[in-house]
Chain A
Amino acid sequence: MNLITVSGPPSSGKTAVILKTAETLMRRGVKIGAVKFDCLHTDDDIAYEKAGIPVKKGLSGSLCPDHYFVSNIEAVLDWGLKEHFDLLVSESAGLCNRCSPYIKEIKAVCVIDNLSGINTPKKIGPMLRMADIVVITKGDIVSQAEREVFAARVHSVNPAAVIMHINGLTGQGAFELSTLLLEGDNHVDSLKGRKLRFSMPSALCSYCLGETRIGESYQMGNVRKINLEENQHGK
């Protein structure tokens, strides 16, 4: 079985891109399964089911969804192996822009949209910088110039990635993505001992453990303070 991780900021069109791509994959005889990681709520599993794709969902609740993902991806992989999928797609939302959901030697796709602003590529960390394929969506509603500028910005933060434009509504470009996903032999039987491409965002402070009160005396553990002095000089 092949495993592919798809990530990207909320509402960038991850599910639409996956569904359109899955459609062409299924037509090419590929047996596909999906797992959706999210934080509080998702209806995306219904969308997958409607498309005839077996799906599992995992909600991280009050935990960092990235940490939740990496603690559960092995179990999900086992489920996929048991179901005999040819391809398992893991979809997760990049909620804090510092997400780092990619695993070494596992194909990584980042979905990002043209409407998110031209400085967005710089704001996003490993999720964009470490992806193998960057899919840019919503190109049908912005000007050609903005598309070109946005793609150039993505290129400057991740020069090695293949940058593709996909229309999540019409599916234009999805067939081409499916070709890239099938390329190469990336069979995985186990993720044990594999490594993340980059360390995940970290924190372990009293608020991680459920503290709700505000005040210096309640702050314990890994706490960091804003530097307002430096802020004044514009940096």
Chain B
Amino acid sequence: MPKALILDGADHKDPRVDYIGSLLEEIMAERGWVVESVTLRRLELDSCRGCFGCWVKTPGECVIKDDAIDLLRKQVTSDLVVDLTEVLFGSPSYHTKLFMERGLGSALPFMIKRKGMTQHPLRYECEPMHLMIGVAREIVQGDAELFRRLASRCCPGAVTEVIDSDASDDKVKELLLVLLNEVGVKV
């Protein structure tokens, strides 16, 4: 059965993020997915120290031994990863970004040129599909656009959307079905 990992990266308990997470779980479970939800703010997650230990000391594994290790492993072995996050100045929330940074080891240290830009190749041949959902109380158009561009740079191939937290339940469900369809969950 396909596996999905839902990461709630909201910095504070947010009823709207909770609702979207529960709805995603329900929809995917109905379609035969094994879903695990994790609330990042409840974990012990230290900040990446920029030591590059995950590149040259313990290749592929972060040297900071906290809850990120288990979660990074789960992320790699999932078929779909869903990030639920607030949108802050066009960037993801603190906790979403904190965990994202800890995944530096999923890239290789080497620099290559691709599409005219220097990049790091990915460590794993097969990356999980990625869905990034930003939840915003009032959607500032520039911030939403920036969030989408940033998400697609951080996770190439990711499907991204910003949802207005005041949107009706029906509208949210409709949007989630479209997004899940885009990442390969048959709805």
Interaction A to B: no
Q: What is B's interface to A at a CB cutoff of 8 Å? A: none
